[in-house]
């Protein structure tokens, strides 16, 4: 897709750590994750590098063996640095992903998740008298590990991937011209690693999150765009019920 997207995304990679305390939180919780990312966007007009902030709202429901995890952000606009080719593009992007997570070991430290990713975007491109809109969706896979470090401390590592996201770019114009539709296929993978502290009915996590997204047009195989970002995450969880 020939536009700037913001993906502040992620979710699931496993690491192995030894400990003696409880590894997996059995709580139902709601959380807010804030992100500060640096990254690059590449498309037909070239490459743009920059820094962006964003975040996710999270919900996790279930027990130690089986859980539903959902995170997302509503469609929000984020002005980009003006380019010679596009002008002052202002992408509006919304992301939601969710998965049913199943514990793979008796201690419920390691989990596998299966779910879906959905990405919506709407981007005016003033220099082209054009607006590009799309929705991509596909199956999401997750793998994660949570282990205690002693006392209230713990560590979480996760990786999530959607190897085949399908959708359509719809190009509409502010000048007399017919709309153009182009089918698109994309893939996305994201990682996170965070250190956390459990305190009474809340948890605080600090760590890193990264994402790599690439898309191409299915009719021609030509690259559409690529987005890669890496940065800091801070997350607060309100623990509701066991």
Tell me what the pLDDT averaged over the chain comes to: 81
CA distance linking residue 207 with residue 194, whole number of Å = 4
How many CB atoms lie under 10 A from the CB of residue 49? 10
| Mean pLDDT within 92-96 | 84
CA distances (Å), origin 11, targets 84, 157, 211, 215 = 35, 8, 9, 20
CA distance linking residue 40 with residue 81, whole number of Å = 12
Q: What is the pLDDT of residue 200?
A: 87
CA distances (Å), origin 204, targets 23, 147, 196, 207 = 16, 15, 5, 10
Query: What are phi and psi for residue 126, nearest 5 degrees?
Result: -60, -35
Q: What is the pLDDT of residues 98-132, one digit of tens each?
A: 999 999 998 889 999 999 999 988 777 777 777 88
Dihedral angle computed from the Cα positions of residues 172, 175, 176 and 182, in that order, rounded to the nearest 10 degrees: -20
Structural domains of the chain, ranges and CATH numbers in brackets: 28-241 (2.40.128.100)
pLDDT band at 25 (very low <50, low <70, confident <90, very high): low
Q: What is the pLDDT of residues 168-197, one digit of tens each?
A: 988 888 788 787 888 999 999 999 999 999
Tell me the CB-side half-sphere exposure of residue 63, using CA atoms within 13 A: 2
The answer on pLDDT for 76 being more than 90 is no
pTM for the structure as a whole: 0.81
Q: What is the pLDDT of residue 38?
A: 85
């Amino acid at each position: 897709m020939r536009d700037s997207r913001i993906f502040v995304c992620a979710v699931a990679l496993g690491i192995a750590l030894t400990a003696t305390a409880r590894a997996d939180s059995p709580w139902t919780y709601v959380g807010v994750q804030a992100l500060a990312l640096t990254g690059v966007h590449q498309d037909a007009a070239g490459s743009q590098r920059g820094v962006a902030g964003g975040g996710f709202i999270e919900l996790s429901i279930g027990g130690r063996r089986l859980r539903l995890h959902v995170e997302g952000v509503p469609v929000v606009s984020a002005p980009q640095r003006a380019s010679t080719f596009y002008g002052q593009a202002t992408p509006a992007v919304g992301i939601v992903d969710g998965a049913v997570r199943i514990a793979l070991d008796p201690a419920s430290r390691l989990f596998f998740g299966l779910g879906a990713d959905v990405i919506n975007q709407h981007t005016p491109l003033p220099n082209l008298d054009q607006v590009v809109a799309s929705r991509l969706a596909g199956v999401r896979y997750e793998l994660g590990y949570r282990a205690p470090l002693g006392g209230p401390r713990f560590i979480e590592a996760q990786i999530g991937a959607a190897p085949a996201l399908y959708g359509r770019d719809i190009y509409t114009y502010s000048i007399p011209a017919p709309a153009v539709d182009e089918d698109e296929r994309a893939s996305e993978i994201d990682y996170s690693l965070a250190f956390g502290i459990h305190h009474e009915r809340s948890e605080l996590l600090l760590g890193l999150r990264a994402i790599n997204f690439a898309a191409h047009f299915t009719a021609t195989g030509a690259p559409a765009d690529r987005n890669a970002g890496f940065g800091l995450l801070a997350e607060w969880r309100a623990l509701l019920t066991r």
